[in-house]
A and B are shown apart, each in its own frame.
Chain A
Amino acid sequence: AQSVAQPEDQVNVAEGNPLTVKCTYSVSGNPYLFWYVQYPNRGLQFLLKYITGDNLVKGSYGFEAEFNKSQTSFHLKKPSALVSDSALYFCAVRDNANQAGTALIFGKGTTLSVSS
């Protein structure tokens, strides 16, 4: 079965420090991977994606993610956290078993809390 795991419910970092939000996946075929951010009572905002090419993907708001095929991971990173980065982060993978609908399978989310 295809799945996405976000092993940490919450990540706490101090402003200015680097942050990492972890994601691992299990999918048949090539992985198409995504990160989204959600602020309270809002829809999800697309941050970045990995489809093919460089393993380090750069996205919005200074975020980047590193694709590691051998470890089946796609961790989200930022060199210097801001208080405004505090939000709920979702990792997702394309459901390769559902080619027609191209649905996404989402992890359960990780709450990032950045303290000043």
Chain B
Amino acid sequence: SQTIHQWPATLVQPVGSPLSLECTVEGTSNPNLYWYRQAAGRGLQLLFYSVGIGQISSEVPQNLSASRPQDRQFILSSKKLLLSDSGFYLCAWRSGAGGPYEQYFGPGTRLTVT
């Protein structure tokens, strides 16, 4: 069966510091991968998605970037964090081979920028 991991689970970082969040998927090949941010326990904002190694699409211009160095690894980064980057970051995957279309989410990373 497929599983998705995210780490760290929680992170407290000062303003201006760098960020690296990691997501890995097991039990599938060539998945579509997604990064979302959830603010204040509510709506999800799609940040980036990737349909293959090295292929990144950005949905919202901001202080963050994403990379996909391996098939099942997705990394969210920032060179200098802002207070507004605080939130709950969720990684998700879905099969890249057509349907099914539902996405499966990781446990999330709670980021607090101080």
Which A residues contact B (CB, under 8 angstroms)?
A: 32, 34, 36, 40-46, 49, 51, 88, 90, 94, 100-104, 106-109
Partner of A43, one of B41, B99, B101, B108: B108
Find out whether the CB atom of A51 lies under 8 angstroms from the CB atom of B99. yes
Q: In whole Å, how far is A61's beta carbon from the nearest beta carbon of chain B?
A: 16
Task: Assess whether B65 is interfacial by the CB under 8 Å rule.
Answer: no
Find out whether the CB atom of A103 lies under 8 angstroms from the CB atom of B49. yes
Q: In whole Å, how far is A75's beta carbon from the nearest beta carbon of chain B?
A: 18
The DSSP consensus for interface residues of chain A is loop
Find out whether the CB atom of B43 lies under 8 angstroms from the CB atom of A109. yes
Partner of B108, one of A41, A51, A94, A109: A41
Q: Which residues of B contact A49 (CB under 8 A)?
A: 100-102
Task: Assess whether B7 is interfacial by the CB under 8 Å rule.
Answer: no
Find out whether the CB atom of A43 lies under 8 angstroms from the CB atom of B105. yes
Task: Assess whether B26 is interfacial by the CB under 8 Å rule.
Answer: no
Task: Assess whether B106 is interfacial by the CB under 8 Å rule.
Answer: yes
Q: Which residues of A contact B59 (CB under 8 A)?
A: 103
- Beyond the given A51-B99, A51-B101, please list 17 additional residue pairs across the A-B interface where CB-CB is below 8 A: A34-B102, A40-B41, A41-B110, A43-B6, A43-B106, A44-B92, A45-B105, A46-B102, A49-B102, A94-B101, A100-B51, A101-B32, A102-B94, A103-B34, A108-B42, A109-B42, A109-B43
